[in-house]
Homo-oligomer: A and B are copies of this chain.
Amino acid sequence: MNIKDVANCAGVSISTVSRVINNTAKVSEDARKRVEAVLKETGYRPNSLARELQQNKTYTIGVLICVTELSMSSLSQSINAITDVLKANNYNIMLANSRYHADEELSIFNTFKEKRVDGILYFAAGFAKKHYAMLKNYKIPIVMIGQKSNYIDMPYVIHDDFYAAKTATEYLIQMGHHDIGFIGLPDYDEAAGLERKKGYKLAHEMNNLPINPNRMTEGDFSIESGYEAMKILLKNPDDRPTAVFATTDFMAIGAISCANEMGLKVPDDISVMGFDDVHVAAFYQPPLTTIHTDTHAVGTKAAELLLSLMDKDNPNKITKYVASYSLMERGSVRPL
């Protein structure tokens, strides 16, 4: 069933049917009625592929994420915001997950190009530099989310991971903690991994505190990994940090679980600081003291920014946005 069949059934030309469907020009009352009758009867839907091919516009946005488990990432909140903004503007979403594989990301970019998406929302984790050669003369508008590129000038929307982590660490220091354990993420995640670690380190430097390598551990976003990292930090009963900065809330939850199992009360025996302010954070026992990040704004802004980038009539384009953050003092940290 195609537009030609509809035209035949209604006894008009293809052009007339197209005009009725798209309301793009005047059609006589008589013809319109006949066409609409056929349309309704057959349930005909125009083939978007043909239209998109002709107009060179797909109304589709590629969303490239990089997670091992979606539910463990604060990113699903941003995605939620993105779907809302894009749907409101009649755009569809093509979702792909690279799972932290650089070559997979490359292949996804190629797919997006072949599929002729109108724009790309790129939740970058640190492989952008590997894609430099390709991205350099890439024609499709891209907004990087979560990480700014140091190699290519590309629009981005980010959390201020560095300063937020610095703020978190400084807060712990101000509370009297001078021996702070760290549960980080692999450095190849340049935002959640590298930047947050940098923030932790700078806070120490500026307060003339040494960084103890034994206090540096690493997780992978999951609760379990936070648990395991905490196990290492608490291994030696005679040499334990007085506070721990977990760079994601889920890892903080794992860490607290571990502390509990070892008979340590949070925050009485040890303080734990999170990052992200996931929904459960406020309802955990104890309620997590953490950095609240505006994931919703990040999703919304990224989508809006991309939309404006794609709009050729729009002269004043915003190309960078740094989302606000705030420290949520709740119940998992106490003064030493």
A203 partner residues in chain B, CB cutoff 8 A: none
Q: Which of B46, B87, B250 contacts A97 (CB 8 A)?
A: B87
Give A62's nearest chain B residue, CB to CB.
B92
Digitize A103-124: 1 where CB-to-B-CB distance is under 8 Å, 0 elsewhere.
0000000110111100000000
Which applies to chain A's interface (DSSP): helix, strand, loop or mixed?
A: helix
A80 partner residues in chain B, CB cutoff 8 A: 67, 69-71, 97
Give A283's nearest chain B residue, CB to CB.
B257
In the complex the two chains form, is A96's CB within 8 Å of B83's CB? yes
Q: How many copies does the complex hold?
A: 2
Give A295's nearest chain B residue, CB to CB.
B71
A53 partner residues in chain B, CB cutoff 8 A: 47, 49-50, 53
Within 8 A of B (CB), among A130-188: 134, 137
Digitize A79-92: 1 where CB-to-B-CB distance is under 8 Å, 0 elsewhere.
11001100100001
A70 partner residues in chain B, CB cutoff 8 A: 76-77, 79-80
Within 8 A of B (CB), among A39-96: 43, 45-50, 52-53, 58, 60, 63, 67, 69-72, 74, 76-77, 79-80, 83-84, 87, 92-96
Give A53's nearest chain B residue, CB to CB.
B49
In the complex the two chains form, is B283's CB within 8 Å of A253's CB? yes
Interface size class of A (residues with CB under 8 A): 35 or more
Give A63's nearest chain B residue, CB to CB.
B95
A202 at the interface (CB under 8 A from B): no
In the complex the two chains form, is A96's CB within 8 Å of B97's CB? no
A97 partner residues in chain B, CB cutoff 8 A: 80, 83-84, 87
A227 partner residues in chain B, CB cutoff 8 A: 283
In the complex the two chains form, is B48's CB within 8 Å of A116's CB? yes
Please give the distance in Å from A12's CB to the nearest CB on chain B: 21
A312 partner residues in chain B, CB cutoff 8 A: none
Q: Which of B69, B74, B280, B285 contacts A260 (CB 8 A)?
A: B285
In the complex the two chains form, is B92's CB within 8 Å of A115's CB? yes
A-B contact pairs, 24 of them (CB 8 A): A45-B114, A47-B53, A47-B116, A49-B52, A49-B116, A50-B53, A60-B94, A70-B76, A70-B77, A71-B76, A71-B80, A71-B279, A72-B279, A83-B95, A83-B97, A84-B97, A92-B94, A93-B95, A95-B95, A223-B280, A256-B283, A280-B280, A280-B284, A284-B285
Given contacts A84-B97, A223-B279, A250-B280, 16 further A-B contacts (CB under 8 A): A45-B114, A46-B114, A49-B52, A49-B115, A49-B116, A69-B77, A71-B74, A72-B279, A83-B95, A87-B96, A92-B96, A92-B115, A93-B96, A94-B95, A253-B283, A285-B285
Contacts from A to B (Cβ < 8 Å): 43, 45-50, 52-53, 58, 60, 63, 67, 69-72, 74, 76-77, 79-80, 83-84, 87, 92-97, 110-111, 113-116, 134, 137, 222-223, 227, 250, 253-254, 256-257, 260, 278-280, 283-285
